[in-house]
Chain A
Amino acid sequence: MGMRRRRDGIGPLEYTRRAWMRLILLATFVFLYAPIVTLVAFSFNDSRRNIVWRGFTLEYYEKAFNNAGLIEAFVNSLTIAFFSTVVSTVLGALVALKLWRFRFPGKAPYEGAMTLPIVIPEICMGVAMLAFFSRIGWPSGLTWPFNLGAITIAHISFSFPFVAVVVRARLANFNREQEEAARDLGATEWQVFRDIMIPYMKPGLVAGALLAFTLSLDDFVITFFTSGPDTVTFPVKVYSMVRFSVTPEVNAASTILIAITLVLTTIALVLQNRRTTD
């Protein structure tokens, strides 16, 4: 009986305990992770060709760090991401506050317009930005970091609606009695905003800011249409390297970008979990 029970122990709804389900799950995760893991592993491989393992080396990281073009692109990416994050967070928070707090005519179309940058295909936004900046005669040949202006503006345009979504989700649980109590006790509109709304929104603001930072750092398609020869970002540089050759140096550069994104998202996740528990 004991043996039988063990063999028949899988309940009808315990799909995850069925061997073939586990196999599908395992195969899916191998499919999702094997390419990335091999890419990271081969960035440490002591061979020019990305095929056979020949021993551990940091040579390609050294090469990547000595590649002036790559470093310049990296600094550009971080600069753009920084300015884009600051502006996107402010704009996104304002949209969230407005939609959360106010009734106004045309609210539904307004919300629709605000989600447009999230839903339209990236390529359409990319060519629109290209057409826009060339038509208004956006000055080229500015000094750094002003030459990054066009890319930064494009990044802000697709980032702040995402921030708005994140911050609004946070605001949805806000108890407005806190605000009313403060008003009843004589707080001005500004004091309520500074001492009650901002502290309450903070986890949402941080999560939104991290999202904006990663979106900006990762974007390729839209940047591809707004960047010029002097304003190459990290993904655009990696793209041009990939087009020419598949080398461990590209693997090393990619691994650095993966590591940065991973750290940022872990922070965002931790913050979001804290948000749901408090």
Chain B
Amino acid sequence: MDSWRKFPLVFWLFSLPPTLWLLLFFLVPLGLIWLFSFGEKQGIVGIDITWTLANYARALDPLYLQIFVKSFWFAGLTTLICLLVGFPVALAITFAPARWRPVLLLLVILPFWTNLLIRTYALIAVLRTRGFLNDGLEWTWEGANALLTLVGLGDLNLLGERFQPFELLYNNFAVVFGLVYVHLPFMVLPLYAALDRMDKSYLEASLDLGASQLRTFLSVVAPLAMAGIVSGCIITFIPALGSFLTPDLLGGPDSQMIANVIESQFKSANDWPFGAALSFLLMYVTFFVLALRAFMTRGRAGLDAA
């Protein structure tokens, strides 16, 4: 690597355009809402920067605190479900025959490249009252009923008079379902990366020495894959926490997440200082989680070196 002093002209030529762009069209806008978060609304459009902390204090109001808690709960549950589903998937890909592995990986990655809005829209058709899931269930119900009639139990109406479709859309269930649907690939990829690096002879040794599959999984596979588990959980949790589209399109009136409140503060409620404070709180949480990851991986690196 060269010192920048050796080729100052080239250095500045490479530096100036992207640095100025980042400064002007990214850091300045962020700085602006940071300032707004300490401001007070004046009339319809004016904002006075009075260095008040009232906007942050308002976020502690039970109404908004509850939305924060709910967002954490949704994102945490999503991360947990993704981990439980993603681990077997990653394990299956790791131990698949070599020629199948790239195909399976591609199948996991491919939905990533389909527009988020379109994937969320696709779920509406699956989950709504007359959607595919309810139709499938109704079909199963009719089949089961026909079977019961066939064995002479039809008159008892064991399964109820008629099929009752489930309310699957516009509620908290739909939001978590949608979040898992969108974020599952985020979890599988780091898990696969960690499992793939793992030395498989440890597993053989454990099994040869008489440990059961479960014991081997808990005491060998899981600890060896810990870095991947941590990474996967963090890169699933962060975007899930800041989700706007999924709760907006799939959620009901009580499934709003932080991002939806931020959006309404900047649009319909027109309270920019409060929306700005909420944005920064969301960003601080994101940075905290990222720092946690850096701290944890550094701890592990130190452990490995020791």
Contacts and interface: CB of A to CB of B under 8 A. Distances in A.
Given A21-B92, A50-B125, A123 B279 contact: yes
A122 B242 contact: yes
Interface stretch (B23-31, B59-67, B153-161, B225-233): B23-31
Interface string B130-160: 1110010000000000000000000000000
Interface in A159-205: 160, 164, 189
Interface stretch (B9-17, B50-58, B296-304): B9-17
B126 interface: yes
A238 B276 CA distance: 27
Interface in A98-144: 98, 100-104, 110, 113-114, 116-117, 119-125, 127-132, 135
B94 to A, nearest CB: 8
Contacts of B286: 119-121
A121 B282 contact: yes
A127 B207 CA distance: 54
Interface string A3-34: 00000000011111000011011001101111
Nearest to A116: B26
A131 B276 contact: yes
A131 B17 CA distance: 23
Interface size class of B (residues with CB under 8 A): 35 or more
B92 A25 contact: yes
Interface string A64-100: 0000000000000000000000000011101101101
A254 B125 CA distance: 13
Contacts, number: 235
Given A94-B17, A120-B283, 6 more contacts: A25-B92, A36-B118, A121-B239, A131-B33, A189-B7, A238-B118
Interface of A: 12-16, 21-22, 24-25, 28-29, 31-36, 38-39, 42, 49-51, 90-92, 94-95, 97-98, 100-104, 110, 113-114, 116-117, 119-125, 127-132, 135, 153-154, 156-157, 160, 164, 189, 214, 218, 220-221, 225, 235, 238-239, 242-243, 246, 250, 254, 257-258, 261-262, 265, 269
16 contacts: A13-B203, A31-B184, A38-B132, A39-B122, A39-B125, A51-B135, A91-B17, A94-B17, A123-B282, A124-B33, A128-B279, A129-B29, A132-B32, A157-B25, A235-B117, A265-B113
